[in-house]
Amino acid sequence: MSIIKILSDNLINQIAAGEVVERPSSVVKELVENSIDAGATSVVIEIKNAGKTLIKVTDNGIGMDKEDLQLALKRHATSKINSESDLWNIHTMGFRGEAIPSISSVSQFTMRSRKNDSIGGTEINCDGGEMVNIKDAGMNVGTTVEVRSLFFNTPARQKYLKQDSTELGHITALLDTIALAHPEIAFKLIHNDKIVFDLSKSTDLISRIADVFGGATSEAMIPVFYGGSEFKIDGFIGKPVLARSTSQHQYFFVNKRPIQHFLLANTIREAFHSMLMENKKPVFIVNINIDPSLVDVNVHPKKLEVRFVDQHSLIRVMYNAVKTALDKTNLTPKAFTETTRYMSDSFPKRDHSPSGDSFKPSFPAQRTPIQDAMTFTKNFLQERELKPLHADSEDTATSMHSITQISNCYIVAENTDGLILIDQHAAHERVRYEELMNQFENEQKSIQPLLMPIEIEFTNQEASQVNDNLEIFKALGFEIENASDKIFIINAVPSFLSKEDIEDVVKGVLDDILNEKSPTKFQGKSEAVIHYMACRSAIKFGQKLNQPEMQALILKMEKLKRPYTCPHGRPTMISLTLSELERMFGRK
For 423-558, the fitting CATH number among 3.30.1600.10, 3.20.20.140, 3.30.1370.100, 3.40.50.170 is: 3.30.1370.100
Nearest to 121 by CA among 141, 105, 107: 141
b/e sequence 478-490, b meaning 16+ C-beta within 10 Å: bbbeeeeeeebeb
CATH fold for the domain made of 9-199:
Heat Shock Protein 90 (3.30.565)
DSSP string, 410-454: EEEEEETTEEEEEEHHHHHHHHHHHHHHHHHHHT---EEEEEEEE
* Contact present, 59 and 38 (Cβ < 8 Å): yes
For residues 489 and 347, what is the distance between their CA atoms, to the nearest angstrom? 53
281 touches 246 (CB < 8 A):
yes
pLDDT lower than 50: segments of the chain: 7, 14-18, 76-77, 79-91, 95-97, 342-343, 349, 351-397, 521-522
State which amino acid sits at residue 535: C
Instruction: Give the whole-angstrom CA distance, residue 335 versus residue 498.
Output: 36
Question: Residue 356 burial by CB count (10 A; 0-12/13-18/19+): exposed, middle or buried?
Answer: exposed
Distance CA 279, CA 401 (A): 34
Distance of CA 549 to the CA centre of its chain: 38
Cα separation, 481 vs 30, in Å, equals: 69
CA 379/CA 158 separation, integer angstroms: 50
Q: What is the greatest pairwise CA distance in the chain?
A: 100
Helix H or strand E segment including 208: helix 205-213
Distance, CA of 426 to chain centre: 25
Q: Could you list the beta-strand ranges (E) of 12-107.
A: 42-48, 54-59
Using an 8 Å Cβ cutoff, are 285 and 251 in contact? yes
Output the pLDDT for position 561. Answer: 86
List the beta strands (DSSP E) in 16-141.
Answer: 42-48, 54-59, 108-114, 121-127, 130-137
Do 423-558 and 9-199 fall under one CATH topology? Answer: no
Angstrom distance (rounded) from CA 307 to CA 237: 23
For residue 333, what are the contacts with CB-CB under 8 A and spacing of at least 6?
A: 239, 241, 339, 342, 564, 571, 574, 575
Pairing of strands 573-577, 418-423: antiparallel
H or E stretch covering 488: strand 487-494
Domain ranges of the chain: 9-199, 205-343, 423-558
Phi, psi at 435, each rounded to 5°: -60, -45
345 φ, ψ to 5°? -110, 10
- pLDDT score, position 95: 42
Predicted TM-score (pTM) of this structure: 0.76
Beta bridge partners of 42: 186
**Counting Cβ atoms within 10 Å, is residue 395 exposed (0-12), middle (13-18) or buried (19+)?**
exposed
DSSP codes, 27-38 = HHHHHHHHHHHT
> Residue 265 gets which letter from DSSP?
H
Torsion angle of C-alpha atoms 527, 533, 535, 540, degrees rounded to 10:
-170
Q: CATH class for domain 205-343? A: alpha beta
CB 43 within 8 A of CB 32: yes
Residue type, position 342, single letter: Y
Which distant-in-sequence residues (6+ apart) come within 8 Å of 95 by Cβ?
Answer: 78, 80, 81, 86, 87
Neighbouring CB atoms inside 10 A of 120's CB total 9
Measure the CA–CA gap between 73 and 310, rounded to whole angstroms: 38
Strand pairing category for 186-191 and 42-48:
parallel
Considering only CA atoms, which of 402, 34, 408, 42 is closest in space to residue 189? Answer: 42
* Helical H segments across 251-373, by residue range: 262-271, 311-327
Q: What 3-state DSSP class applies to 93?
A: coil
**pLDDT in the model for residue 343:** 45
